[in-house]
Amino acid sequence: MTYPLQGLTREGDALELTCEAIGKPQPVMVTWVRVDDEMPQHAVLSGPNLFINNLNKTDNGTYRCEASNIVGKAHSDYMLYVYDPPTTIPPPTTTTTTTILTIITGTVPSFPPKMS
């Protein structure tokens, strides 16, 4: 049976596991079960595939792929550990203050002195 090795999964991520069972004769039944707990309600099982969207810490546990044929059964376990979501630090806010100093240059109007 092959499927992704344990990896880093964070809250909110999606998980897809595929169980590929090979044998002689070829396994006729491939299923996923959660060891020691019920499968999460938001988990979707589709043949050899297990999809869990929007992971959270309550999904932590061991998930088992079981395959069987007329000769017998085999299983392989996947241990899921969901970590906290990544913390994002907001970028520092930059405040730009622009001061525009306007200097008006020119000549002061002058009038010829008034003669009386």
Q: Is the pLDDT of residue 5 over 90?
A: no
Q: Is the pLDDT of residue 67 over 70?
A: yes
Domain that holds residue 58: 9-83
Residue 96 lies in a domain: no
pTM greater than 0.85: no
The number of angstroms, rounded, from the C-alpha of 111 to the middle of its chain's C-alpha atoms is: 79
**Residue-level pLDDT at 21:** 86
How many CB atoms are located within 10 Å of the residue 63 CB? Answer: 24
Residue 41 lies in a domain: yes
Quote the strand ranges of the chain, DSSP E. Answer: 9-10, 15-18, 29-35, 43-46, 49-52, 61-68, 73-80, 82-83
Q: Is the pLDDT of residue 83 over 60?
A: yes
Per the structure, the count of domains in the chain is 1
Q: Is the pLDDT of residue 111 over 90?
A: no
Q: Is the pLDDT of residue 106 over 90?
A: no
CATH number of the structural domain spanning residue 59: 2.60.40.10
Q: Kindly report, residue by residue over 14-48, the tens digit of the pLDDT.
A: 999 988 888 889 998 999 999 999 999 999 999 89
Beta pairing class for 82-83 and 9-10: parallel
Residue 53 lies in a domain: yes
How does DSSP classify residue 2? B
**Residue-level pLDDT at 22:** 86
- Give, for 25, the enclosing helix (H) or strand (E): none
> How deeply is 82 buried, as exposed, middle or buried, from its count of CB atoms within 10 A (0-12, 13-18, 19+)?
buried
Confidence of residue 69 (pLDDT cuts 50, 70, 90): very high
